[in-house]
Amino acid sequence: MSQTVPTIRPDAPVLVFDSGVGGLTVLDALRRILPEAPVIYAADNAGLPYGEKSEAEIAARVAGLLGRMTERFQPRLACIACNTASTIALGMVRDVLHIPIVGTVPAVKPAAAATKTGVIGLIGTGATIRQAYVDRLEAEFAQGKTLLRLAAPGLVAAAEAKLRGRTPDPAVIAGVLAEFRAMPGGDRIDTLVLACTHFPLLAEELGEAFGPDVALVDGAEGIARRIATLTGGQEFLRTGPDIALFTRAEQGLASLEPALAARALSRIEVL
């Protein structure tokens, strides 16, 4: 019996989804390896920040929005470029959508391989750091090491502000460092996992605060490579501008235009 393999339209986009601008760090990595892929970058700005919401609320929002977006844009693949959404809703989204779904999980594995002191810092949203998913990553990859987790919601707002052209508040960055230093073993951190896609947008500021002896690790390159693998052999054809899609019209969207245009997202739409 012959099986029909669904054909992928060459103009079918890759959908990259986050609560805000954080997923642009994944898009940056994707652009470097797959510049020809048409992309829809979707930000649930009406739901931002996810990190302060309950698991049930995040799961319902993410599954509902991805369902609507998939129906409307028929993407070839969706990437949940958000650690909070992925660690909570990845399984559920995979169950309901019939396209490949790539998630974003805290880069504990490479951090554990890289640390020399054996002490790893992990910053994410409050919702991410309490997930059993992170417990499992720790048990699987960081046995015998110390993983110090810290919720850093202020960094989400700082990254959103930075992409709108405002200077991030140095006190927020300094506060993260101070909180780690106050933890037992915190002064021995040599590897810092950026477990929120917003945080690589602050790599410069975090790098300055933590100093040259602390390596910052995030998962963007690995995620982009996974997307490239899953779409390997497919044709790509861009027939129009790549879209930045938001779930709510707001004044601040205009100030994001330069950052979006720099990533070849030249059309802004509201769902």
- Of 186, 184, 176, 165, the C-alpha closest to 209 is 176
Q: How far is the CB of 25 from ligand DGL (least distance, A)?
A: 9
Active-site choice (89, 196, 202, 214): 196
Q: Which is nearer to ligand DGL, 45 or 70 (CB)?
A: 45
User: SS3 of 167, please?
Assistant: coil
Q: Which is nearer to ligand DGL, 148 or 155 (CB)?
A: 155
Phi then psi dihedrals of residue 117, to 5 deg: -80, -20
Q: Which is nearer to ligand DGL, 82 or 122 (CB)?
A: 82
Identify any residues that bridge with 123 across adjacent strands, giving them in sequence order: 150, 194
Q: How far is the CB of 10 from ligand DGL (least distance, A)?
A: 30
Q: How far is the CB of 37 from ligand DGL (least distance, A)?
A: 21
Q: State the residue for tokens 């915190």.
A: 186
Q: How far is the CB of 123 from ligand DGL (least distance, A)?
A: 10
Concerning whether 79 is annotated as a catalytic residue, the answer is: no
Scanning 115-192, the segments in alpha helix (DSSP H) are: 126-129, 132-141, 153-163, 170-181
Sign of the Cα torsion 260, 223, 58, 206 reads: negative
Q: To 10 degrees, what angle do helices 83-96 and 132-141 make?
A: 100
Q: State the residue for tokens 């989204």.
A: 93
* Per-residue CA distances from 121 to 15, 102, 209 (Å): 30, 25, 14
Active-site choice (21, 27, 66, 82): 82
Residue 109 tokens, joined: 């594995």
Cα Dmax for the chain: 65
Q: Which is nearer to ligand DGL, 76 or 198 (CB)?
A: 198
Q: How far is the CB of 157 from ligand DGL (least distance, A)?
A: 9
Concerning whether 196 is annotated as a catalytic residue, the answer is: yes
Task: Note the residues at the interface with ligand DGL (CB under 6 A).
Answer: 18-20, 22, 48-51, 82-84, 125, 128, 156, 196-198
Question: Is residue 124 exposed (0-12), middle (13-18) or buried (19+ Cβ within 10 Å)?
Answer: buried
Residues assigned a catalytic role: 82, 196
